[in-house]
């Protein structure tokens, strides 16, 4: 049907995919890190402390001390040739490669905290005619602190729109065969090329306050299932594939066992050669590159360990892109 001559030009009929990662400072300055941390740490999904109390703690203490320390940590892993963090670099690379795998889709990426924002990229997809959008939070395991926070930000933007796109949110893939197979293939390939025999494999997931489990968050259980399925796929016993939790913050009890404690104990238990994966992260970031591949390895070796190999996240590798292709194919079923 022909449009009236005075009808405004409106792009529609396209399908978009938006990959969403956690976020990153724009640069290494304490000011930029402070801005990022303020947005991140004041999200009530991330810190469940009464807002008034937490505002004073955050602004009076944490944001006056932590930005400088965090900036120094980011400097250790910063990709200086492109002047950005690995998290942003790999997330953008994933989006670009995914677009090549799906030429009929418009693929973009956003950050839950920082830039590019979720609202700005949803608006950009709509401007390009996307009235159907698949959101892919880049978290294999669901948590209220991650996946739910992404959904909050998406729906907050949708509430401002007169014409909302049809929306889908990708389901977490913690137990999907393509995910387990990708992790297993990565381990098998590395071990085939490695001259060492690793006595144990350690899976380090990001931690959460322990009360999250009692409040009904499925994250802990989904991490456990990822570990169990990976051990089965590798033909390993549960005793040979350890599950730990990193990045605890504050005085409260967090999910245990703590990665740093286990790394310090393993050498005394006869584990001299260790392989580490961080399967709760879709892309390498501060927590995988600085906290584990640098500080964690140092803890292990200082305790008497001999060799500690840390595998990179799947990132934009062939295995990683095959996994994302599988996720989009499944979640966009009927749209493609």
Three-state SS string across the chain, please? CCCCCCCCCCCCCEEEEEEEEEEECCCCCHHHHHHHHHHHHCCCCCCCCCHHHHHHHHHHHHHHHHHHHHHHHHHHHCECCCCECHHHHHHHHHHHHHHHHCCCEEEEEEEEEECCEHHHHHHHHHHCCEEEEEEEECCCCCCCCCHHHHHHHHHHHHCCCCCCCEEEECCCCCCCHHHHHHHHHHHHHHHHHCCCCCCEEEEEEECCECHHHHCCCCHHHHHHHHHHHHHHHHCCCHHHEEEEEECCCCCCCECCCEHHHHHHHHHHHCCCEEEEECCCCCCCCHHHHHHHHHHHHHHHHHCCCCEEEECCCCCCCHHHHHHHHHHHHHHCCCCC
In whole angstroms, how far apart are CA 235 and each of 141, 142, 171, 243, 272?
A: 22, 26, 27, 16, 21
- Phi then psi for residue 106, to 5 deg, are -105, 115
Residue 283 sits in a domain of what CATH number? 3.40.50.1400
Q: Do 327 and 280 share a domain, yes or no?
A: no
Q: Do 147 and 229 share a domain, yes or no?
A: no
Residue 306 lies in a domain: yes
Residue 4 lies in a domain: no
Residue 6 lies in a domain: no
Q: Is the bond leading into 116 cis (omega within 30 degrees of zero)?
A: yes
pTM for the whole structure = 0.95
| Tens of pLDDT, residue by residue, the chain (336 residues) | 566 766 566 677 899 999 999 999 999 999 999 999 999 999 999 999 999 999 999 999 999 999 999 999 999 999 999 999 999 999 999 999 999 999 999 999 999 999 999 999 999 999 999 999 999 999 999 999 999 999 999 999 999 999 999 999 999 999 999 999 999 999 999 999 988 899 999 999 999 999 999 999 999 999 999 999 999 999 999 999 999 999 998 888 999 999 999 999 999 999 999 999 999 999 999 999 999 999 999 999 999 999 999 999 999 999 999 999 999 999 999 998
Position 7 scores a pLDDT of: 56
Q: Do 35 and 88 share a domain, yes or no?
A: yes
Q: Do 304 and 323 share a domain, yes or no?
A: no
Residue 230 lies in a domain: yes
Position 8 scores a pLDDT of: 60
Q: Do 184 and 167 share a domain, yes or no?
A: no
Q: Structural domain of residue 64, as residue ranges? A: 14-172+319-331
Cα 270 from Cα 285, distance rounded (Å): 30
Q: Say how many domains are in the chain.
A: 2
Q: Helix 318-331 vs helix 177-193: angle between axes, to the nearest 10 degrees?
A: 170
In whole angstroms, how far apart are CA 222 and each of 166, 270, 302, 325?
A: 28, 29, 32, 22
Residue 36 lies in a domain: yes
Position 9 scores a pLDDT of: 63
Residue 8 lies in a domain: no
Q: 172 near 140, Cβ under 8 Å?
A: yes
């Amino acid at each position: 049907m022909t449009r009236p001559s005075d009808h405004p030009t409106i792009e529609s009929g396209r399908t978009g995919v938006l990959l969403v990662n956690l976020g990153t400072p724009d640069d290494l300055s304490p000011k930029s890190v402070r801005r990022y941390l303020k947005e991140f740490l004041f999200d009530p999904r991330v810190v469940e402390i009464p807002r008034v109390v937490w505002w004073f703690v955050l602004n009076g203490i944490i944001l006056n001390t932590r930005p400088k320390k965090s900036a120094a940590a980011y400097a250790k892993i910063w990709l200086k040739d492109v002047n950005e963090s690995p998290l942003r670099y790999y997330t953008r690379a994933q989006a670009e490669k995914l677009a090549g795998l799906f030429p009929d889709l418009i693929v973009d990426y956003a950050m839950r905290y920082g830039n590019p924002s979720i609202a700005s990229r949803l608006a950009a997809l709509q401007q390009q005619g996307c009235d159907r959008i698949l959101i892919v939070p880049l978290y294999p395991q669901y948590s209220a602190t991650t996946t739910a926070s992404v959904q909050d930000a998406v729906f907050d933007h949708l509430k401002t729109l007169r014409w909302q796109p049809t929306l889908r949110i990708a389901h977490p893939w913690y137990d999907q065969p393509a995910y387990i197979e990708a992790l297993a293939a990565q381990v098998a390939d590395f071990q085939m090329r490695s001259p060492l025999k690793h006595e144990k494999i350690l899976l380090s997931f990001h931690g959460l306050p322990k009360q999250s489990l009692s409040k009904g968050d499925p994250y802990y259980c989904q991490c456990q299932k990822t570990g169990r399925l990976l051990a089965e796929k590798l033909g390993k016993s549960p005793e040979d594939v350890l599950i730990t939790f990193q990045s605890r913050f504050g005085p409260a009890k967090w999910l245990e066992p703590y990665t740093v404690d286990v790394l310090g104990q393993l050498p005394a238990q006869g584990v001299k050669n260790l392989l580490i994966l961080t399967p709760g992260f879709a892309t390498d970031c501060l927590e995988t590159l600085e906290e584990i591949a640098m500080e964690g390895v140092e803890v292990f070796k200082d305790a008497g360990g001999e060799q500690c190999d840390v595998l990179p996240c799947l990132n934009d590798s062939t295995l990683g892109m095959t996994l994302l292709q599988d996720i989009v194919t499944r979640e966009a079923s009927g749209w493609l």
